[in-house]
Amino acid sequence: MTTDPTPRLRADARRNRDRIIATARDVFTERGTEVPMEEIAREAGVGVGTLYRRFPDRDSLIREVAVEAFERLIADTHSIIEEEPDAWRALSKLLHRASDLRTIARLTLLSPRAREILAADPTTDAVHNRFMDTLDTLIKRAQDDGTLRTDVSTGDLGVIVGLLLQGVQVMPDEVREVLPGRYLTLLLDGLRPEAPSQLPGRAIRAEEVIFRHPEPEE
């Protein structure tokens, strides 16, 4: 009696896809989005042909990595809000716990090519906007509670956290792991409303850091 191999093949294909995405996420976050596709395949333990069957080009892989990272961030944010009713503590937990923030920082702030790719894709644009809306709601709750200074916005927080998390990557390995927690704590202290220094300029609105679709040519 023979068994149908289709379910096994489907499971294998799913595992290969998951390995490729997980590897690409780590590679893009640590080394940027221009690492050769062949290197990503090798580190994922799959053949180059397998990678290209799942993702025919680099752009499609960048989009998939971004969508999964945003989806996890949205899920993490909702989970933290449910377990922590205090808006300030929920925001603090999110910044300290959400490892996907570094991936998003790399793709949306530090890689012009990746940002352009994601901005042109309606699916990525939509999930990015959903995350920013979720974060915006949490930030406004903390401001209404009087626990977060009112002269900062979602756009401000997104940019400075992203730059902070990616900035530690240039440090030696022996100190790199301890820096995010230290500097995020310093950042959070600076976001408290108690007698803050006056910030120059103006708050950056969420829509200013959300993707924009390219304007159609005349």
Q: Where are the domains of the chain?
A: 1-56, 59-209
Work out the percent of the chain whose per-residue pLDDT is above 70: 87
Tell me the C-alpha distance between 106 and 114, whole Å: 8
Tell me the C-alpha distance between 209 and 160, whole Å: 12
Tell me the C-alpha distance between 189 and 192, whole Å: 5
The model's confidence at residue 210, banded by pLDDT at 50, 70 and 90, is: low
How many whole angstroms from its chain centre is CA 142?
22
Tell me the C-alpha distance between 115 and 186, whole Å: 28
Confidence at residue 205, expressed as pLDDT on a 0 to 100 scale: 78
Whether CATH 3.30.160.110 fits 59-209? no
Domains 1-56 and 59-209 are alike in CATH topology:
no
Work out the percent of the chain whose per-residue pLDDT is above 90: 53
Confidence at residue 78, expressed as pLDDT on a 0 to 100 scale: 94
Which superfamily does CATH assign the domain made up of 1-56 to? Answer: Homeodomain-like (1.10.10.60)
What's the alpha-carbon Rg for the chain, to the nearest Å?
Answer: 20
Q: Is the pLDDT of residue 80 over 90?
A: yes
Closest C-alpha among 139, 143, 167 to residue 77? 139
Closest C-alpha among 104, 76, 69, 70 to residue 90? 76
- Contact predicate 118/63, CB 8 Å: yes
Q: Is the pLDDT of residue 17 over 90?
A: yes
